[in-house]
Amino acid sequence: MAGDPLYEPYHDTEWGVPEYDPRALWEKLVLDGFQAGLAWITILRKRDAFRAAFADFDPEIVARYGEADRARLMADAGIVRSNAKIDAAISGARIYLDMRDRGEDFAKFLWAFVGGAPIQNRWTGVGDVPAQTPEAVEMAKALKAKGFKFVGPVIVYAFMQATGMVNDHTTDCFRHEPIKAMGKARDA
């Protein structure tokens, strides 16, 4: 996607940067769920529309969405219109809030799967990067056990890459070392 006016800045400034904010992590997990079966660029192009449709991913608001909101979302051509994915986002907001209300920090829960610090991979080519890892499989199982949907190991690994839980910029990428420096390095 080099040269794409939307994807290139995303790669160069956002992808792989360690994210510790629970709400931002929830937003990214929801967006990755909407990506299921689609290319990330599709979601990236619709991200602003998703933010508008889902009240800037405020879980307090999204958790209260009812039938009228579901109908509004299904009529919104700016987002991916899937009943199952919309329902997953709404129920995910409720799960997120339930975790918070029980004193479970969403960020700490997620980061525990990588020992609290980014895994620093050293892939030399894009073809070396796996589609999933044992950590992604474990996180997916734990998210599913809590009731989250669209959180299979491949989606979860894409989420882990995007949120900097793993540094999967290849070693020849100019972002590999700066991303490595952003997190407390943990060798894979």
> What are the pLDDT digits (tens) for 94-142?
999 999 999 999 999 999 999 999 999 999 999 999 999 999 999 999 9
Give 187 or 71, the one with higher predicted confidence. 71
CB 88 within 8 A of CB 148: yes
Residue 3 pLDDT level (bands cut at 50, 70, 90): confident
Report the distance separating Cα 71 and Cα 147, nearest Å. 23
Q: Which residues pair with 46 in a beta bridge?
A: none
> Can you read off the two tokens belonging to residue 162?
């995007």
- pLDDT value, residue 188: 45
pLDDT confidence of residue 65: 98
The C-alpha torsion from 91 through 92 and 94 to 98, rounded to 10°, is: 140
Residue with tokens 């510790």: 20
What is the arithmetic mean of pLDDT over 152-165? 98
Q: Which pLDDT belongs to residue 169?
A: 96
pLDDT, tens digit, 9 for 90 and up, residues 9-27:
999 999 999 999 999 999 9
Q: Whole-angstrom Cα distance, residue 126 to residue 28?
A: 22
Measure the N-to-C terminal CA separation of the chain; round to a whole number of Å. 27
What average pLDDT is seen over the chain? 95
